[in-house]
Amino acid sequence: MKKTTRFKQMLQSKQLEFICEAHNGLSAKIVEEAGFRGIWGSGLSISAAMGVRDNNEASWTQVLEVLEFMSDNTSVPILLDGDTGYGNFNNMRRLVSKLEQRGVAAVCIEDKIFPKTNSFIKGESQPLAEIEEFCGKIKAGKDAQSDSDFSIVARTEAFIAGWGLEEALKRANAYYEAGADAILVHSKIAKPDDIINFMGEWGDRCPIVIVPTMYYDTPTTVWRELGISLVIWANHILRSGIRAMQDTAAHLMEHESLLHIEKKLPTVKEIFRLQGMEEYQQWEKAYLPKKRQGGRGILLAASKGNGFGRLTDDKPKAMIEVEGQPIILGSVNALRKSDIRDITIVTGYKPEAFNLGTVKYVQNEGWEQTGEVGSLLAARDKIAGEGELVVGYGDVVARSFVLKNLVESTAPLTVVVDYQAPHHKTRTSIDWARVTPERVEGIKKIDYKLVKVDPQIEPAAAQGEWIGLLACTGEGSKILAKTLDELVAADVNVANWSMPQLLSHMVESGVEVAVQYIHDNWLDIDDIADLSDLYKF
Ligand code: SPV
Ligand code: MG
């Protein structure tokens, strides 16, 4: 049902209805969620929320913009407090059509002179509009509406301005005859007498709306017995918000701490809920290109490193700086470039030397005894997950395209193998890899699978060197985690294993590990001589 129709029915129904003030998109949503079947777009509250007075200081189009947010954010009808209609009959015509365009169900106009002042400020001194002029405005509004269910509520300020019952009745009747869908009778006294007297004479000519701000202690049963159609709680959401904001601001100023108030405040998550983030995320799934979830990286950097002399007195080799940049930072940055943002470094020797900001650290307490898998186990919590996982060494630096290609691999597990072990160094231990098919066709796209990684493989029998990088898809990360858990449960002292041992074991157990071939474009920093290679890298 249209909002206009619903509001009209609320006015015309025999039961007493309530609507509640709101002053922006957020408060409108809060009012709707509380269960109100309608919203009062209060002139006082909207102007106050803008930081201006209820004296038409905000232009009518500025009010309209607020109304648009309120209307877009809710499904219940809104009755706008349209003050005097912001001018004469012609302004009223334009107002009505603009409100209809923005999904506002109804407008209330009051018989004062533009620019008005709030009814509770020197009410008696405020002039009332000429009855005929005001009736012309009502007629103009009714003629301007294109939806026959749009409602115009005519508000008389006769009691506010001190004119009394007779004038109130005269005006109400004239407005009703001019076509108003309901009459709002406003009163500023602390008792319900004006309303009771008015209703005694009015009968049921047309629906009556009241605003019991001042006579708030009148029991609701009185309104029912009088046959009031609609009660407006006109400013109470704004007032409660003001108090809450004042309290919080004062507390923060005084205590310089969130400690005593944080738990009492709505969470940031609650803000997101009110903003409708869930709906956004559903559409995001439908319309945004499927983006990989930012994955996880684990860099194993527990060892001190033996070939660096005094350089590793106070830091592990991964933190030795070349041109002001720790070795490991190259890997961290390459991971980040591949959208791997959740990076964990497994530390061991001198963990306090790591100072890389937004990465996480876990310490392998047994780093002096364990093998690389011991370090991997220290980051066990980071292994299984939704996005990709990259496991690498803190002392291996690869160009970012190497990582990017690796992360994009769709195979559950993928390793990078240099098909021609670099000659630039004299290493004691090379992680030789056997790969099938054996014939290495340059870097052609062939489905190469790992057979084994082992420094003991005869160089002539190897198809290349594993460069120390392993990537897993979400599925692959679960396979890796399961393998590790089973090995731990089997009590085979897997913590002492090297990564090549783990990879070879997985392949032997039937897990497929894909191979991406590269040549060069990576460095393994094992000793001081390698640092000069890094300098040139
Ligand atoms: C408003 O809420 O802006 C009203 C009601 O017009 S009152 O403030 O009581 O005049
Ligand atoms: Mg008002």
pLDDT in tens, 400-458: 899 999 999 999 999 999 988 765 455 567 899 999 998 876 556 788 999 999 999 98
Cα separation of 131 and 433, whole Å? 97
Cα separation of 100 and 106, whole Å? 8
Q: pLDDT value at position 65?
A: 98
* Catalytic entry in 54, 181, 418, 526: 54
Encoding tokens for residue 378? Answer: 């220290």
Q: Provide the number of structural domains found in the chain.
A: 2
Encoding tokens for residue 51? Answer: 């930081």
Are residues 88 and 154 located together in one domain of the fold? yes
Residue 528: CB atoms within 10 Å = 14
Query: Which of 213, 230, 231, 236 is the pocket-test mutation for ligand 1 (most atoms within 8 Å of CB)?
Result: 213
Residue 290 lies in a domain: no
Are residues 35 and 144 located together in one domain of the fold? yes
Atom of ligand 1 nearest to the CA of 160: 10
Q: pLDDT value at position 144?
A: 98
- Enclosing domain of residue 63: 3-243
Asked if 433 contacts 464 with a C-beta cutoff of 8 angstroms, the reply is yes
Among 222, 243, 264, the domain-final residue is 243
Respond yes or no: is residue 54 known to be catalytic.
yes
Asked if 499 contacts 468 with a C-beta cutoff of 8 angstroms, the reply is yes
Q: Looking at residue 453, which CATH number applies to its domain?
A: 3.90.550.10
Among 178, 209, 243, the domain-final residue is 243
Encoding tokens for residue 60? Answer: 């009518």
Are residues 366 and 233 located together in one domain of the fold? no
Residue 280 lies in a domain: no
Q: pLDDT value at position 526?
A: 81
**Helix (H/G/I), strand (E/B), else coil: 303:** coil
The answer, yes or no, to whether any atom of ligand 1 lies below 6 A from the CB of 329, is no
Q: pLDDT value at position 426?
A: 57
Q: State in Å: Cα 168 to ligand 1 middle.
A: 18
Q: State in Å: Cα 120 to ligand 2 middle.
A: 10
CA nearest 342: which of 300, 308, 377, 293? 293
Are residues 336 and 226 located together in one domain of the fold? no
Are residues 237 and 299 located together in one domain of the fold? no
Are residues 202 and 335 located together in one domain of the fold? no
Q: State in Å: Cα 218 to ligand 2 middle.
A: 21
Rounded mean pLDDT of 42-50?
98
Are residues 114 and 174 located together in one domain of the fold? yes
Among 201, 228, 243, the domain-final residue is 243
What is the pLDDT confidence band of residue 292, given thresholds at 50, 70 and 90? low
pTM score of the predicted model: 0.69
Are residues 485 and 357 located together in one domain of the fold? yes
Of the listed ranges 4-8, 158-162, 422-426, the least confidently predicted one is 422-426
Atom of ligand 1 nearest to the CA of 213: 9
The residue that leads in pLDDT, 400 or 105, is 105
The answer, yes or no, to whether any atom of ligand 1 lies below 6 A from the CB of 81, is yes
